[in-house]
Chains A and B, each alone.
Chain A
Amino acid sequence: MQTLTQQSSRQTAPLGTRHTNNGVSVRKRNFGDVLFKYTTMSFAAFVLLLVVLMGYEMYAGSSLSLEKFGWEFLTNTTWDPVMEEYGALPFIFGTLVSSFLALVIALPLSIGIAIFLSEIAPQWLEKPLSFLIELLAGIPSIVYGLWGIFVLVPWIRTTIEPFLSEYFEFIPLFRGAPYGFGMLAAGLILSIMVLPIIASISRDVLKAVPQSQREASLAIGATKWESIRIILMDAKSGIFGATLLGLGRAIGETMAVTMVIGNRPVISASLFDPGYTMASVLANEFTEATTSMYLSALIEISFVLFVMTIIINALARLLVWSVTKQTTA
């Protein structure tokens, strides 16, 4: 990867076109070359336009609801298709809480895995283990959802939630009836899904830290763990970027969350209660949107989701890129 980005600054042959001898053009511009260049360029322009078009389509599609609700759309807690009143706050809340919960669970594990893969594991173990963890990223969201409904949710209902409410009831997060379906289930399943992303990028970031850092700390008598802590300090902005990429995935994740979160637009302090996310309201209600205002409100939700993921991803890539570039330059 790194060598590739370096190559990007290379001059690729201005041959044929700018080949001049004493100011006299030696070769004519080949018509096929011009055609080829501009054909491929037009496809590149198409990709550029596509992203702009996506943003525009959603902006235009949500004009009705944008006009009627304005900024209040983001802060209103009522979602009532019958009364034609739409506020997206419960969904934004559900998306943020479930994603945050996923990160709280997945981040320490991912960093542990990344350290293990990059610093501790011998070569023969590292390759297959990396493969297995990346396999986790290849499982389709719908299969996670299916597993969530029939395995994870019953387990949460019968084991996790009773346990938490028995010993930790003093924390408001763990109060209420153990339905199984709810924020906790969504957070858990999301944590499994973002784990391979954060772990594999963090591993790459750790591997990009120069070997001399390890040798220097070990040479002054640091234990392995103390040396790892120094490497972690070097890699922290890259790991933060990896976390943001995981967050971007969690926020947009639809099927698995829809199948286990319970789908009720409420804002509740307890993780046992059902919730709703922006992605899952789209999945559930888009085909039911009978009025144009309803549809417009749903498209506005997807617009908000689009903007959120763009900001998060751009930030994440900038961070990961700055770390991996600086160490290999």
Chain B
Amino acid sequence: MSTEATYTPSLKFSWRKLWNRVMLGLCLASALAALVPLLLIFFYTISKGAGYLNLDFFLEMPKPVGEEGGGMANAIVGTIILIATGSSIGLPVGILTGVYLAEFGNNKFANLVRFMTDVLSGVPSIVAGVVAYTLVVIPMKHFSALAGGVAMAILMIPTVTRTTEEMVRLVPDSFREAGLALGIPRWKTTIQIVLRTAFRGIVTGVLLAIARIAGETAPLLFTALGNRFWSTDLDQPIASLTVFIYDYAKAPFEDWNNQAWTAALVLIVLISLLSFAVRFVTRSRYNNR
């Protein structure tokens, strides 16, 4: 901070100044302390995971107990299918709700929806899993990828709604007025001018939401369940990287433990790529905000 004017400091010892130094030092120390677990987690994930990272991991199926090696091809595909299912339910709901809140959201109903979105964003992911279980698994009488997708959609909606609303609001009113002045109906103005302008921002929200659900495990445990075999059927249980990490971490086989680290590394790389994509998308236009 540049508030200190030039003055001659008194050389006399002062408890207040010492205390000042000590407390400021503690603040610095706590900032450094927070970096320790971050570095440790990255260090272990890379050092333990990279050793087993090879092409087999992406192309092979899991081997039966007792056989070494194998990969998680089905889990990688499963995670992608789960994200796609969750997105195809969660994104339309989230985006359209966000558009409503931004364009027509000046009433009590909209405030209630905003509050409920906030409530939803605080709901623990495992609770979303329980709800997907009662909504999908119980009526269908078996675990399925669809149920996992529903749980993920519930978790996506608040993030997507919030960012869409904020981004659509950032579009200046003059854009809307320009469209209306040309005689374009309101709905076309919204879709073709306002949403197109806010497109990058909405994509950011979508990527953030995907990054969030890609790492979710708890809501999948009793919805998508997991599967050691190849399956792309929405009606059947499906494998996912995160549930594999959980099962392999608890397993008493060293080979499986190592594969869990590799899966964790792949997951972290995937999520980092998504957040780099966010930075890339937002960089040019929203840098000066």
Contacts from A to B (Cβ < 8 Å): 1, 4, 7-13, 15-16, 30, 32-33, 35-37, 39-41, 43-48, 50-51, 53-54, 57-58, 60-61, 108-113, 115-117, 119-121, 129, 132-133, 135-136, 138-147, 149-151, 192, 195-196, 199, 214-215, 218, 223-226, 228, 245, 248, 251-255, 259, 279, 282-283, 286-287, 298-299, 302, 305-306, 309-310, 312-314, 317
Contact = CB atoms under 8 A, between A and B. Distances in A.
A294 to B, nearest CB: 13
A44 B20 contact: no
A44 B100 contact: yes
A138 B44 contact: no
B34 A43 contact: no
Please provide the 10 A-B residue pairs with the shortest distance between their CB atoms, ordered closest to farther.
Answer: A252-B124, A140-B215, A112-B30, A313-B122, A36-B187, A40-B100, A254-B218, A223-B20, A43-B96, A302-B130
A252 B126 contact: yes
Given A36-B190, A58-B127, A286-B129, 17 more contacts: A44-B97, A44-B109, A44-B113, A116-B31, A117-B31, A140-B267, A140-B268, A146-B245, A150-B257, A223-B16, A228-B23, A252-B122, A254-B125, A254-B217, A279-B126, A282-B218, A314-B119
Q: Choose among A115, A143, A214 the residue with the greatest number of B CB atoms under 10 Å from its CB.
A: A143
A33 B180 CA distance: 12
Nearest to A129: B31
Interface in B124-158: 124-131, 133-135, 154, 157
B118 A43 contact: no
Contacts of B23: 225, 228
B123 interface: yes
Nearest to B128: A54
A255 B217 contact: yes
Interface string B93-107: 100110111011110
Given A44-B100, A283-B218, A16 B180 contact: yes
Given A112-B31, A113-B30, A251-B124, A136 B119 contact: no
Contacts of A225: 19-20, 23-24
A218 B40 CA distance: 39
In which size bucket is the chain B interface?
35 or more
A61 B133 CA distance: 10
A113 B27 contact: yes
B166 A12 contact: no
A226 to B, nearest CB: 7
A195 B34 contact: yes
A39 B69 CA distance: 52
Contact of B173 (A12, A147, A279, A287): A12
13 contacts: A32-B188, A36-B191, A40-B97, A46-B97, A54-B127, A61-B134, A132-B38, A143-B45, A151-B40, A255-B218, A279-B126, A282-B129, A282-B218
Interface in B190-220: 190-191, 211, 214-218
A267 B124 CA distance: 23
A39 B187 CA distance: 11
Contact of B117 (A47, A255, A312): A47
Given A13-B176, A33-B186, A279-B218, A112 B3 contact: no
A323 B170 CA distance: 23
Given A13-B180, A302-B127, A147 B26 contact: no
Among B117, B190, B217, B271, the one with the most A-chain Cβ atoms within 10 Å of its Cβ is B217
A117 B245 CA distance: 35
